[in-house]
A and B are shown apart, each in its own frame.
Chain A
Amino acid sequence: MNKKDIKLMFFLAYKNIIKSKSTFIVIVAVMAMSFLSITFFSAIIDGLSYEFEESMIDGQTGHLMIEPSNEESFIFNSDRLEKNISKIPGVIGVSSRLESNILITYKNEELGAPVFFIDPIDEQKVSNFHESLIEGSFLSYKDTSEIIIGSDLLEQYAPIDDTKKRFNLRIGDNIILTFNNGYKKEYKIKGIFKTGSKFNDDKILINKEEYFSIFNKEDISHKILVKLPSRGLEKEYIQKIEALGIIEQINPWETKIGMIKQFVGSLQITNQITGFIGLLTAFATIYIIIFINVTNKRKQIGILKAIGIKKKIILGSYIIQSFIYGFVGVIFGNIIMQILLALLASYPLSMPIGDVVPLLTIGKLLTTSFILILASIVAGFFPSRKASNDNILDAIFGG
């Protein structure tokens, strides 16, 4: 293979593509669509998975969750620990919670629900309940007879066709809560939140001070949530917190989202399977189109051989053509994908769990691009090799 051969290859490839623009457009369009179908679905799934995890981090776990040491059911000296952790540079927020189940009574109806006893100020730095209010306002530190209630407990926010028992409550209505030590108290609904996640929207939020007075305790908590600047820093901060010399357990969010983790894991497997099938389909489509294209060129290939053009030049020119189809297709696919991603970033898909923004990593883009280009080269290689090995006379005169 020398320079003149390569020049000739490119010349033939170039002329072939230029003179069959419609073929070119069709193949490039198919490549671009294949690219989109593979990456887009997977981006949605990844975005969905991310959103699921994010809703758990925002509502329930924070990035780090500190829990009582094995023998204890509470974290003691919670205030001091919180203060120390919040002094670690970079930590965005620290908040402690106590959890319990209560019985809600309204008129003649009763319903059990989980409660988070929170510090109304600190809580806003670690979770997104305060940002998810759809009615009313959030608790202030003085609010001891008010509660915030999740939309999933309310009839007016029930999904259609959902027959779960719910209350017909409005802002300002009073309900009676019975705590698991038998204590009863009337509370006023101050706010209603809807995060979009079923795992969060069934909760009731009450000022932590209430727990201390009802259960006659102080300076304890079940959990301390720590919010970090972003995901991925968990290990680093666990070390920093451990360096404070605490005896409690520190767990990253991944270990605390059990069900969701399984669910996301299943989604990811689905994603891999559909991605693989998508690639196969794309490969088959590309193969067939390029195969037909090359098969149609059988006579030309025969003529080229007859007038003395080397087989490897002919083969090379078809491989270059296939590469160009693949490359241009993938470029277009990438451009369209970026436009779609940009659009969906500004207008996210509204899904029942919340707004989902498709997530696509550079790694996935590169792999898909690479595989599709490779697929088109392979798809071009075999039929052209077959055609260029054909008997010259058969190729020219048909046979």
Chain B
Amino acid sequence: MIKNIIEVNKLERIYSNGIVKTYALKDVSLSIKPGEFVAIMGPSGSGKSTLLHQLGLLDTPTNGSIIIDNEDVSKLTDKQKTTFRLEKLGYVFQSYNLLPELNVIENVFLTSMAKGLDPKEYNLRAKDILEKVGLKDRLYYYPSELSGGQQQRVSIARALVNKPKILFADEPTANLDSDSSQDIIDLFKKLNKEINQTIVMVTHELEEGKKADRIIWIKDGILDKSVKV
């Protein structure tokens, strides 16, 4: 049996603004295997993003534990989490979140640069991955000069450049037209197949969810069911 890449145990995330307490996540336990392509689905406000943020170390759960790649990440300091994100995780956001001051290739190689690769190597890597996402003729464009779909592909390239253990994506197609959406999901599928990339993706579209290996359904912050596609 393969070891899980993610193991979540009794995860809880409460938002409290003084008086009101919102249970965004309640007693969530789940596990994800390396190389798995998992979709997280559920109604709006059910806690999908919240879950992804906990798994992606962008937020701190109020309770429970998360083990990623054999490391109990709930125990890490902020600084260690930053390094962990750099070394092992990649993110694709709904609104791309590219850095407007950097051109395409710079956006992509930034994290490789941060890891200390030499310029030759990070340029090569960035070009490589940008070619994979079909943007090799847009290397020196700035984000503002690209379409939404192109920007999202840049952000996927950025997420993948350091060969992360897990790629997280929160509704990566929500801002795109159906053709571009199709492209992105196909790209995910391809990456999952070809390089065995573990992907955890939040989506609203059942069509997209069906492309994954498994759909984790979530409702009112509670795990509803986990369905193999």
Measured CB to CB, the residues of A under 8 A from B are 2, 4, 7-8, 11-12, 15-16, 18-20, 299-300, 303-311, 313, 391-393, 396
Distance of A270 from chain B, by nearest CB (Å): 45
Identity of the chain B residue whose Cβ is nearest the Cβ of A309 in the assembled complex: B114
CA distance A19 to B103 in the complex (A): 10
Cβ of B87 within 8 Å of any chain A Cβ, yes or no, is yes
Which B-chain residue is minimally distant from A304 (CB atoms)? B99
Q: Is the CB of B82 within 8 A of A19?
A: no
Indicate whether B97 reaches chain A with its CB closer than 8 angstroms: yes
Interchain CA distance A235-B111 in the complex, whole Å: 67
CB-CB under 8 A from A305, the residues of chain B are 82
Which listed residue (A11, A19, A309, A393) contacts B86, Cβ 8 A? A309
Contact B113–A308 (Cβ < 8 Å): no
Which of chain B's residues have a CB closer than 8 A to the CB of A2? 116
| Contact between B113 and A7, CB atoms less than 8 A apart | yes
| Other-chain residue from B89, B97, B113, B115 in contact with A303 (beta carbon distance below 8 A) | B97
Question: Is the pair A15, B106 in contact by a Cβ cutoff of 8 Å?
Answer: yes
The contact of A307 among B78, B85, B116, by CB within 8 Å, is B85
Alpha-carbon gap, A310 to B86, bound state (A)? 9
Decide if B146 is an interface residue (CB 8 Å cutoff). no
Given A4-B114, A8-B113, A8-B114, A308 and B100 contact (CB-CB distance below 8 Å): no
Residues in chain B near residue A310, CB distance under 8 A: 79, 82-83, 114
In the assembled complex, 9 residue pairs joining A and B whose CB atoms fall closer than 8 Å, in A order, are A19-B101, A20-B101, A306-B58, A307-B91, A309-B86, A310-B83, A311-B78, A392-B58, A392-B59
B53 located at the interface, meaning its Cβ lies under 8 Å from any Cβ of chain A in the complex: yes
The one of B85, B97, B98, B113 that contacts A4, using a Cβ cutoff of 8 Å: B113
- Once bound together, how far apart are the Cα atoms of A284 and B101, in whole Å? 27
B93 touches A309 (CB 8 A): no
Question: Given B78, B84, B85, which contacts A306 in the complex, CB threshold below 8 Å?
Answer: B85
- Quick check: A311 and B79 within 8 Å, CB to CB? yes
| Contacts beyond the supplied A18-B101, A307-B85, A307-B86: 8 A-B pairs with Cβ under 8 Å | A15-B102, A299-B97, A307-B110, A308-B83, A308-B85, A308-B111, A313-B114, A396-B93
B158 at the interface (CB under 8 A from A): yes
| Shortest CB distance A335–B (Å) | 28
Q: Are B111 and A307 in contact (CB under 8 A)?
A: yes
Residues of B within 8 A of A299 (CB): 97
What residues of chain A lie closer than 8 Å to B93, measured between beta carbons?
396
Interface of B is mostly: helix
A300–B101 contact, CB under 8 A? yes
Q: For A297, give the chain B residue with the smallest CB separation.
A: B101
Q: Which residues of A contact B115 (CB under 8 A)?
A: 4
From A299, A311, A392, A396, residue with most partner B Cβ within 10 Å? A392
| Residue interface mask B24-66, A partner, CB < 8 A = 1 | 0000000000000000000000000000010000110000000
Complex Cα distance, B89 from A89, in Å, reads: 83
- A250 vs chain B, min Cβ distance (A): 69
Count chain B CB atoms within 10 A of each CB in A4, A18, A20 and give the residue with the most.
A4
List chain B residues, Cβ under 8 A from A7: 113
Q: Which residues of B contact A (CB under 8 A)?
A: 53, 58-59, 78-79, 82-87, 89, 91, 93, 97-102, 106, 110-111, 113-116, 142, 158
Taking A8-B113, A8-B114, A308-B86 as contacts, is the C-beta distance between A303 and B59 under 8 angstroms?
no
- Chain A nearest CB, measured from B171 CB (Å): 13
Indicate which residue in B53, B87, B101 contacts A15 across the interface (CB closer than 8 Å). Answer: B101
A309 contacts across to B, CB distance below 8 A:
82, 86, 110-111, 114
Shortest C-beta distance, B158 to chain A (Å), equals: 7
Q: Which residues of B contact A300 (CB under 8 A)?
A: 99-101
A393 to chain B, nearest CB (A): 6
Task: Report Cα–Cα, A139/B79, bound state, in Å.
Answer: 86
Query: Smallest CB–CB gap between A19 and chain B, Å?
Result: 4
Give the docked Cα–Cα distance between A391 and B99 (Å).
18
Please pick, from A16, A308, A313, the residue contacting B101 in the complex, using a CB distance under 8 A.
A16
A300–B96 alpha-carbon span in the complex (Å): 12
Task: Quote the shortest CB–CB distance from A176 to chain B (angstroms).
Answer: 86
Query: Contact check: which of A16, A18, A306, A308 meets B114 at CB < 8 Å?
Result: A308
- In angstroms, Cα B97 to Cα A332, docked, is 36
Question: What 8 pairs between A and B have smallest CB-CB spacing?
Answer: A308-B86, A19-B101, A308-B85, A4-B116, A15-B101, A303-B97, A392-B58, A16-B101
The interface residues of chain B lying within 8 Å CB-to-CB of A20 are 101
Supposing A15-B101, A309-B82 touch, asked if A393 and B110 sit within 8 A by C-beta, the answer is no
Q: How far is the CA of A7 from the CA of B116 in the complex (A)?
A: 9
- Which residue, B84, B85, B98, has most C-beta atoms of chain A within 10 A? B85
The answer to whether A396 touches B101, judged by C-beta atoms less than 8 angstroms apart, is no
B7 to chain A, nearest CB (A): 22
Which residues of A sit under 8 angstroms from B114, Cβ to Cβ? 4, 8, 308-310, 313
Complex Cα spacing A299 to B97, Å? 9
Max chain A C-beta neighbours (<10 A), residue from B89, B93, B106, B110: B110
Q: Tell me the nearest residue of chain A to B96, going by C-beta.
A: A303
CA distance A213 to B106 in the complex (A): 95
Complexed CA–CA distance, A154 and B5 (Å): 102
CA gap between A304 and B100 in the complex, in Å: 12
Residues of chain B lying within 8 A (CB to CB) of residue A308: 82-87, 89, 111, 114
A361 to B168, CA, bound (A): 61
Cβ–Cβ contact A303 & B82, under 8 A: no
